[in-house]
Amino acid sequence: MSGAPTLALDGVGVRYGGVAALHGVALAIERGHVLGLIGPNGAGKTTLVNAVTGLASLASGTVALEGRRIDGMQPHRIARAGVARTYQNIRLFGALDVAANLAAGAFARPGRPAEADMRRALERAGIPDANLRARAGALPYGDQRRLEIARALAAEPSVVMLDEPAAGMNPSETTRLVETIRAIAASGIAVLLIEHDMPLVRAACDSVVVLNFGEVIARGTPGEVARDPVVVEAYLGSGAEALA
Amino acid sequence: MNLLADFYAKHSRLIDQIGINAILALSLSVSLQAGQLALAQAAFMGIAAYVSTILALNAHWPLLATIVAAVLASTAVAAILAYPVRRLRGVFLAIATIGFGEIVRVFANNLSITGGAEGISGIPNDATTPVIYGALALVALVLFGLSRTKFALAVALVREDEYAARGVGVDVGAVRTAALALGGAIAGLGGALYAHASFFITPTDFGFPRMESILVWCVVGGVTSPVGAVLGAALLSVLPEAIRFLADYREVTNGIILLAVILFAPGGLASLWQRRGAAAAAAAARTA
């Protein structure tokens, strides 16, 4: 094992025209840990995911995966290097069946995944009974979210970035999602969790980074961050009691 | 046996046409399966037809050698064309590739080596029925072989969602280029055979109406189904012959059939039996 973190961002800046969407962002995630990324709408959370996956190009800074620079690489190469993600708005291959979506997840791996591998990915994502022959777009909403997670896991990545996985889920589904996320991390994957749902962030994350206007304004354990007056003012506002 | 021989003697030209048209339909279905509405098939076909004709008449190459050279030429042109259109999608890609087809036609119309508007005549008629159907079988075999590879998965992912395809590690640019080049190769094969099954070729053989016919065959058959594409080509090649008075209104009937398919069976012929299959599965699920 090298000393480098699984995923490390250093001084990352992204500009859209004259707007600095991200500025000087540094963070690191280790395997087995869940890092929460929170911040108000437009704070740059999804931009950060896009910067890591190569969909947004960096104006400054570096992104390294296990000590190897991946910034500047093409998106498909970054995916092959071991970075998997889910999308804020679900992006399954809706017309294809569940099996094809899982095979897609494993695209960068040699050969085609066996049915047992697919079952394992579905199990880890919390939908063990999903029909492999069902059309992905026809699954219930919550199952589609979990199938996206299963697709990401099928890649056997080092890093998984979950972009608002609880969006549209009810409270009991969200509670189950915490177990799923903790189990993913426990299997030796570094997890970056973007989420608005504060109880979920508290329950699932080992540490939290708070973004506002593209900059990191606080970091620490979920409890520390919740008590940070800067965070309360910038982001939580009247919702602060949700964390307390 | 005599009956069969009589039938063949009477309809051999139509039978050959069906085979060639099926190859052309398959060539377009390859790029449609990758979600690319690239409509330069008639141009690839024309390039290959002229290359194989010129090599046969001027250089006296044997049939197989002229076909191989023609296919290489159309493949290369298709692969090169993929670069300038790499950022174009949907209808914009369609317009650009139709424009490319017009460029090719205008060149053929004005170059002396292509015989200008009069074209080239006296082409040896050596693309016989077994040659044509052997070529069709080869194309079908290659496509079937590819359908079980990761390339086919990548093609489907690019068709469904390019963005998400990138996210799982698919090199979208390479897949698009490969799909266009493979389509160009198959169209080139069809074009070379077309030349060697005709006595003469002219630039209008490879213009927009030809492209439109190929597109209609694919739409009628079902845009993402190679089997449907072949069926569509066969059906629409036979129809004007079977119903004689339709032959003079080929373009009109093409248009009406296209409309009918889009309105009543948007997935084409292929979707009709898939729909039956799905209905049967649903019925089975209800009773279970």
Q: How confident is the model at residue B258 (pLDDT cuts 50, 70, 90)?
A: confident
Mean pLDDT value across chain B:
91
Residues of chain B found within 8 Å of residue A100, distances taken between Cβ atoms: 153, 156
- pTM, entire model: 0.90
| pLDDT score of B276 | 62
Say whether pLDDT at B282 is over 70. no
Reference A225, options A214, A205, B42, A215; nearest CA is A205
Kindly give the parts of chain A with pLDDT less than 50. Answer: 1, 240, 242, 244
- Mean pLDDT, rounded, for B152-168: 95
Say whether pLDDT at B279 is over 70. no
Q: How confident is the model at residue B102 (pLDDT cuts 50, 70, 90)?
A: very high
- Do residues B171 and B160 make contact, with C-beta atoms less than 8 angstroms apart? no
| Closest CB to B156 among A84, A96, A105 | A96
Closest CA–CA distance from residue A238 to any residue of chain B (Å): 37
Domain boundaries, chain A: 7-82+157-242, 92-154
| pLDDT score of A72 | 93
- Mean pLDDT, rounded, for B134-158: 96
Q: Is the dihedral of CA B42, B43, B46, B52 positive or negative?
A: negative
CA distance B248 to B239: 12
Residues of chain A found within 8 Å of residue B282, distances taken between Cβ atoms: none
DSSP A14: E
Is B167 in contact with A100 (Cβ distance < 8 A)?
A: no
Q: Which residue is listed with tokens 């640019």?
A: B173
CA distance A29 to A14: 20
Q: Which residue has the higher pLDDT, B75 or A112?
A: B75
Residues of chain B found within 8 Å of residue A87, distances taken between Cβ atoms: 164, 167
B91 three-state secondary structure: helix
Q: How confident is the model at residue B79 (pLDDT cuts 50, 70, 90)?
A: very high
Q: Which amino acid is at A57?
A: S
Is A107 in contact with B154 (Cβ distance < 8 A)?
A: yes
Residues of chain B found within 8 Å of residue A80, distances taken between Cβ atoms: 169
Q: In the numeric block, which tokens belong to residue A3?
A: 């000393």
A85 three-state secondary structure: strand
CATH fold for the domain made of A7-82+157-242? Rossmann fold (3.40.50)
Residues of chain B found within 8 Å of residue A105, distances taken between Cβ atoms: 168
**Interface ipTM:** 0.90
Q: What are the distances in angstroms from CA A211 to CA A36, A48, A197, A229?
A: 11, 10, 15, 14
CA distance B91 to B8: 42
With b for 16 or more beta-carbon neighbours within 10 A and e for fewer, the A127-151 pattern comes to beebeeeebbeebeebbbbbbbbbb
Q: What are the distances in angstroms from CA A120 to CA A102, A150, B198?
A: 11, 9, 58
Domain boundaries, chain B: 2-207
CA distance A194 to A196: 7
B270 at interface of A, judged by CB pairs closer than 8 A = no
Percentage of the residues of chain B whose pLDDT score is greater than 70: 94
Say whether pLDDT at B111 is over 70. yes
What does residue B83 show for φ and ψ, rounded to 5 degrees?
Answer: -70, -55
Lowest mean pLDDT among A200-204, B38-42, B74-78, B275-279: B275-279
Residues 191-230 of A with CB under 8 A from B: none
* Residue in B with minimal Cα distance to A81: B169
Residues of chain A found within 8 Å of residue B150, distances taken between Cβ atoms: 107, 112
A132 at interface of B, judged by CB pairs closer than 8 A = no
Closest CA–CA distance from residue B175 to any residue of chain A (Å): 12
Q: Which residue is listed with tokens 């059939």?
A: B257
DSSP A87: -
| Closest CB to B171 among A55, A76, A87 | A76
Q: How confident is the model at residue B244 (pLDDT cuts 50, 70, 90)?
A: confident
A75 at interface of B, judged by CB pairs closer than 8 A = yes
- Do residues A209 and A161 make contact, with C-beta atoms less than 8 angstroms apart? no
CA distance A13 to B283: 56
Say whether pLDDT at B173 is over 50. yes
Q: Which residue has the higher pLDDT, B1 or B169?
A: B169
Say whether pLDDT at B106 is over 80. yes
Long-range CB pairs of B145-151 (<8 Å, 24+ gap) are B150/A107, B150/A112, B151/B175, B151/B178
Q: Which amino acid is at B244?
A: R
A113 at interface of B, judged by CB pairs closer than 8 A = no
Residues of chain B found within 8 Å of residue A151, distances taken between Cβ atoms: 168
- Mean pLDDT, rounded, for B57-77: 97
* Residue in A with minimal Cα distance to B151: A107
Q: Which residue is listed with tokens 């004007």?
A: B240
Residues of chain A found within 8 Å of residue B34, distances taken between Cβ atoms: none
What does residue B84 show for φ and ψ, rounded to 5 degrees?
Answer: -65, -25
Chain centroid to CA A94: how far?
Answer: 21
CA distance B258 to B251: 10
Is A151 in contact with B165 (Cβ distance < 8 A)?
A: no
Say whether pLDDT at B288 is over 50. no
Is A93 in contact with B160 (Cβ distance < 8 A)?
A: yes
Chain centroid to CA A212: how far?
Answer: 18
Is A103 in contact with B153 (Cβ distance < 8 A)?
A: yes
| pLDDT score of B267 | 80
Rama region for A32: left / alpha / beta (φ>0; ψ in -120 to 50; rest): left
Angle between helices B226-242 and B129-146 (to 10 degrees): 150
Q: What are the distances in angstroms from CA A76 to CA A25, B87, B97?
A: 23, 17, 27
CA distance A219 to A37: 9
Q: How many helices (H) and strands (E) does chain B have?
A: 12, 2
| Closest CB to A75 among B156, B157, B166 | B166
